[in-house]
Structure 1
Amino acid sequence: FAGDEFSNNLFSDLAPLLTLFGEQVTKQFLSMSMGWADNVLLAMGPLGIMTVIVSAIRVGGIKRLKAIVGRARESRSTAEQELLSSTSQDVCELWSGEEIVRLIGNPQGMKCLIVTNEARVYDLKSAIEHKLFRSDMVPPEVTATLTNAAPNLALNVKNANAPGWELWLWAFFGVALQLIAIAIPGVATYHWQWPKAGASVAAYGYPCFAIGTVLVIGGVLGCGHVIEGITTEHVFQPEHRGRKAGMQVLVLQRACTVSDQHFSSYAIFNSPENRTIRT
């Protein structure tokens, strides 16, 4: 067989599989997607396009579309558990002793607490009232809800998310690579005029390729935004008074059973230099 035919068949057969079916990798990426930079990264090198589309339908909640993908009777908590980074009254994160586990359920008595050097203990609401934390543009009723909701463990792990500048750096790098991937076939077709199987490339070939690529990028970008935008991230930064008090952020987890799994009691501390609370 000719080498040209072998390489064409190899990439023609493998590329759709790699692009369409990357379910677990895609779900893991979506579950920690926090902004437009993540959406751009997802769109520039999509793995699991079908998973992204189905995930957007599951999170979006349009019943007719959910019926088409076989998720008509799926609860929102199931989609939240698999695809989102948030916690709520229906979804929680617990420490098993080895790793963070996301489950459907609401553990009783699990609280985010702030302890100062003076051995004073505050919850999130009282810490804001005592000027230990500031809540920029977060309404008081939302703060009260977050105080009583299950804390988010994954987002408060040190270096759980890359800094914004690094995400945008990789996003711009991905955009540059994608533009090169679109430009090179155009140059090869119209400037270098490379033949294909001994004949000129069909006139419709490159326009279809370019338009299709742009549509795929736009579609994946839109789906990523639907999934990422369904939740709202709140960041509570320590005030000067809080830093001076030498406060430590911790999550108190009582022994409980959630979804038929038993979890022991733990006091889960943020790293000493991490005094930010993300929910």
Structure 2
Amino acid sequence: MDSPEGEFDGNDFANNLFSDLAPLLTLFGEQVTKQFLSMSVGWADNVLLAMGPLGILTIVVSAIRVAGETVPNLKALIGRAREDRASVEVELLSSTSREVCELWTGTQIVRVRGQPLISQPFIMTDTGNVYPLWNDVAQGTFEVNFMAQDWDRETSLLAKVPPNLGLNISGAIPSNREMWMWAALGTVLQLASLVVSGTVTYRWNLAQVEVPTTTYGYPCYLLGTLLLTLGVLLCGHIVETVSKERTFRCKAKMRKRVRIFRIQLAATVNDQHFDSYLIFNSPENPDVYAPFYQGMKKNTRYVHYPPARIPLFSNINICEILCNCRISAVIHGLCHTITYFISESVI
């Protein structure tokens, strides 16, 4: 029913609100989403991403780009068939590699393609001694998130890639407690939106007399939201697992006795000149985060179980399972779009 002339029509405003905001969400959602994905380091980030996400299509496309080696048909479908790995790593991943590095310009940290002239982290103790992070002395200074017997193998692998600067800024990575707190808050708000919508539809009966509520409106809204959450969660996990993070947390008794620094030599990388700098971690942050690209292996791998334990499943194709998970994540995201738009038009 049309409102009298000069009177504010709240129904039209409410119905057109999301359509009016869509260009703004598209404009600001893409780059914010890519930045969030590039700093994602765990399940808490994936859960937070899935709760009321911006840039849904950006998340789905990012998952396809990252997993493109194992799902080449989907990569060709979005027009990225010939995209190289370094382009994806620069935009979407937190890792560094032989093709991607992070450098200091004097005012900010930038991610560029190329080989930098920057050293691995060094440890400077309160006595003035300086050691490489991969030295045996560091093994007694830090607590790591991998097995102690793998120290030589892991550190030799990390020594081959440039250090990450962005994740080593003080406060760049919140504590696990803080991340899960925000993830829990996002989950509560997402559930609240479902409860309020159901209550308004079935309990309070606030539907307009002229436009009766359809029976399939709220079920489509509920199904679309669940598919959205699951699909974005899986897509975020795909992007996050491509980078493998190694953390070196300084022991409590040594935190005030050591400083972490890196040496950046003057060089021209990707047609951009960078000056020399001595880059220190803040005194309150003697920890080191070292993500590196591990990729998604396409070669078939099998896990063999003792026949006496699992007689019907003597070998499992791991790559086939992972590939199906990636395709499932994309399908969930696309199915959400259909059901969610149906619900928005009728609820």
Q: Which TM-score applies when normalising by structure 1?
A: 0.92
Q: 1:243 to 1:26 in 2, by over 3 A?
A: closer
1:191 maps to a residue whose letter is R
Map residues 87-236 of structure 1 onto 2, 5 A cutoff: 87-128=96-137, 131-138=140-147, 139=150, 140-196=152-208, 198-236=210-248
Work out whether residues 38 and 94 of structure 2, in 8 Å CA contact, stay in contact via their aligned partners in 1.
yes
1:7 maps to a residue whose letter is F
Work out whether residues 93 and 101 of structure 1, in 8 Å CA contact, stay in contact via their aligned partners in 2.
yes
Q: 1:124 to 1:238 in 2, by over 3 A?
A: same
Q: 1:197 to 1:150 in 2, by over 3 A?
A: farther
1:89 maps to a residue whose letter is R
Deviations, residues 208-265 of structure 1 (Å, cap 9, x unaligned) = 1111111111111111111111111111122477558x22110110111110001001
Q: 1:275 to 1:90 in 2, by over 3 A?
A: same
Q: Does 1:31 align with 2:38?
A: yes
Greater Cα shift, 24-33 or 186-195? 186-195
Number of matched residues?
A: 278
Work out whether residues 128 and 135 of structure 1, in 8 Å CA contact, stay in contact via their aligned partners in 2.
no
Task: Supply the distance in 1 between the matched residues of 2:109 and 2:159 (Cα, whole angstroms).
Answer: 20
Structure 1: state its 5+ residue gaps.
none
Q: Does 1:47 align with 2:58?
A: no
**Tell me, what secondary structure is at the counterpart of 1:34?**
coil
Deviations, residues 51-109 of structure 1 (Å, cap 9, x unaligned) = 00111111112211111111111111111111111111111000000000101112135
Task: Supply the distance in 1 between the matched residues of 2:179 and 2:101 (Cα, whole angstroms).
Answer: 27
Q: Which TM-score applies when normalising by structure 2?
A: 0.75
Task: Supply the distance in 2 between the matched residues of 1:99 and 1:87 (Cα, whole angstroms).
Answer: 17
Map residues 6-17 of structure 1 onto 2, 5 A cutoff: 6-17=12-23
Shift of 1:153: 0.5
Task: Supply the distance in 2 between the matched residues of 1:199 and 1:9 (Cα, whole angstroms).
Answer: 12
1:44 maps to a residue whose letter is M
Task: Supply the distance in 2 between the matched residues of 1:26 and 1:136 (Cα, whole angstroms).
Answer: 27
Q: 1:232 to 1:108 in 2, by over 3 A?
A: same
**Tell me, what secondary structure is at the counterpart of 2:268?**
strand
Q: Does 1:74 align with 2:80?
A: no
Structure 2: state its 5+ residue gaps.
4-8, 291-347
**Tell me, what secondary structure is at the counterpart of 1:234?**
strand
Task: Supply the distance in 1 between the matched residues of 2:209 and 2:58 (Cα, whole angstroms).
Answer: 35
Shift of 1:15: 4.9
**Tell me, what secondary structure is at the counterpart of 1:236?**
strand
Work out whether residues 81 and 103 of structure 1, in 8 Å CA contact, stay in contact via their aligned partners in 2.
yes
Work out whether residues 125 and 259 of structure 2, in 8 Å CA contact, stay in contact via their aligned partners in 1.
yes
Task: Supply the distance in 2 between the matched residues of 1:90 and 1:147 (Cα, whole angstroms).
Answer: 14
Task: Supply the distance in 1 between the matched residues of 2:24 and 2:244 (Cα, whole angstroms).
Answer: 31
Shift of 1:190: 1.5
